[in-house]
Structure 1
Amino acid sequence: MATEYANYINGEWVESATGASFAVTNPASVDEIVSYHPASTKADVEDAVDASVAAQDEWAHTPGPSRGSVLRETGELLAARKGEATETLVREEGKTRSEAAGEVQRAIDIFHYYAEKCRDLGGTVKPASASEMDLYTKREPLGTVALITPWNYPIAIPAWKLAPALAAGNTVVLKPASEAPNASRILLECLDEAGLPKGVANLVTGSGSEVGAPLTESDDIDGLSFTGSTGVGTAVAQTAAEDLTRVQCEMGGKNPTIVMPSADIEQAAELVGAGAFGTTGQSCTATSRAIVHESVYDEFVDAITGYAESLEVGPGLEDPDVGPHVSDSELASTLEYVTIGQDEGATLETGGIRLTGNDYERGNYVPPTVFVDVKNDMRIAQEEIFGPVLAVIEARDFEDAISTANDVDFGLAASIVTQNLSEANRFVDEIDAGVAKVNDKTTGLELHVPFGGYKGSSTNTYREQGDAGLDFFSSIKTVYKSY
Structure 2
Amino acid sequence: MSTAETLAAEVLKTGTLEGLPDGHFIDGQFSRPSHNQSMESFDPGRGEAFASFAAGTKADVDQAVESARRAFENVWRDMAPVERTRILQRASGLILENMARLAVAESLDSGKPLNEALGDVRGAARCFEYYAGACDKLQGDSFPLGPDYLGYSIHEPVGVTAHIIPWNYPISTTARGLAPALAAGCTVVAKPAEQTPFTALLLAEILTKAGLPDGVCNVVTGTGAEVGAPLTSHPDVDHITFTGSVATGQAVMSAAAREVTRVVLELGGKSPVVVLDDCDREKAMEGVMGAIFENAGQICSAGSRLVIERGIHDDFVEELVRRTRPLRLGHGLRNPDVGPVNSASHLEKIAGFVDRARSAGAEIATGGSVTTDPDTGKGWFFEPTIIDRAAPSDEVVREEIFGPVLTVQVADDADHALELANDCQYGLVAGIYSSDFSKANRLARRIDAGQIFINEYFAGGVEVPFGGNKKSGFGREKGIEGLKSYCKTKSIAARIG
Out of 168, 189, 193, the residue aligned to residue 173 of structure 1 is 189
Q: Mean Cα displacement is larger for which, 341-350 or 280-289?
A: 341-350
Out of 328, 335, 352, the residue aligned to residue 351 of structure 2 is 335
C-alpha distance in 1 between matches for 2:266 and 2:99: 27
Aligned residue in 1 for 2:140: 123
User: Which amino acid in structure 1 is aligned with residue 89 of structure 2?
Assistant: R
**What SS does the corresponding residue of 1:385 show, helix, strand or coil?**
coil
Give the Å deviation of 1:444. Answer: 5.0
Give the Å deviation of 1:419. Answer: 1.4
Aligned residue in 1 for 2:32: 15
C-alpha distance in 2 between matches for 1:22 and 1:236: 23
1:103-156 superposed Cα distances (whole Å, 9 cap, x missing partner): 00000001111111112122122322x314322111111111111010111101
Normalized against structure 1, the TM-score is what? 0.96
**Distance change in 2, residues 1:358/1:437 (3 Å):** closer
Give the Å deviation of 1:258. Answer: 1.1
**What SS does the corresponding residue of 2:179 show, helix, strand or coil?**
helix
1:359-402 superposed Cα distances (whole Å, 9 cap, x missing partner): 25211111210011210110000000111000011111111111
Give the Å deviation of 1:357. Answer: 6.4
Q: Is residue 492 of structure 2 the alignment partner of residue 479 of structure 1?
A: yes
Out of 124, 127, 145, the residue aligned to residue 110 of structure 1 is 127
C-alpha distance in 1 between matches for 2:318 and 2:128: 43
C-alpha distance in 2 between matches for 1:394 and 1:100: 34
Q: Is residue 160 of structure 2 the alignment partner of residue 144 of structure 1?
A: yes
User: Which amino acid in structure 1 is aligned with residue 155 of structure 2?
Assistant: R
1:307-359 superposed Cα distances (whole Å, 9 cap, x missing partner): 21132111111111111111111111111111021123211111111224642
C-alpha distance in 2 between matches for 1:284 and 1:380: 15
Contact 2:21-2:201 at 8 Å conserved across structures = no
C-alpha distance in 1 between matches for 2:47 and 2:374: 14
Q: Is residue 224 of structure 2 the alignment partner of residue 211 of structure 1?
A: no
Normalized against structure 2, the TM-score is what? 0.94
Aligned residue in 1 for 2:481: 468
**What SS does the corresponding residue of 2:387 show, helix, strand or coil?**
strand
Which sections of structure 2, spanning at least 5 residues, go unmatched?
Answer: 1-15
Give the Å deviation of 1:292. Answer: 1.1
C-alpha distance in 1 between matches for 2:283 and 2:478: 29
Q: Where in structure 2 are the equivalents of 1:210-229 lying within 5 Å? A: 210-229=226-245
Give the Å deviation of 1:423. Answer: 2.2
**What SS does the corresponding residue of 2:229 show, helix, strand or coil?**
helix
Give the Å deviation of 1:420. Answer: 2.2
**What SS does the corresponding residue of 2:464 show, helix, strand or coil?**
coil
Give the Å deviation of 1:254. Answer: 0.2
Q: Is residue 473 of structure 2 the alignment partner of residue 454 of structure 1?
A: no
Task: Give identity over the alignment, percent.
Answer: 38
1:229-280 superposed Cα distances (whole Å, 9 cap, x missing partner): 1111121112202221111110110011111111233332221111011111
C-alpha distance in 2 between matches for 1:418 and 1:53: 51
Q: Where in structure 2 are the equivalents of 1:62-81 lying within 5 Å? A: 62-81=79-98
Contact 1:265-1:299 at 8 Å conserved across structures = no
RMSD, matched Cα: 1.4
C-alpha distance in 2 between matches for 1:318 and 1:444: 26
Q: Mean Cα displacement is larger for which, 349-358 or 232-241?
A: 349-358
Q: Is residue 56 of structure 2 the alignment partner of residue 43 of structure 1?
A: no
C-alpha distance in 2 between matches for 1:225 and 1:92: 22
**What SS does the corresponding residue of 1:436 show, helix, strand or coil?**
strand
Contact 2:113-2:338 at 8 Å conserved across structures = yes
Aligned residue in 1 for 2:312: 296
Which sections of structure 1, spanning at least 5 residues, go unmatched?
Answer: none
User: Which amino acid in structure 2 is aligned with residue 59 of structure 1?
Assistant: W
C-alpha distance in 1 between matches for 2:490 and 2:34: 40
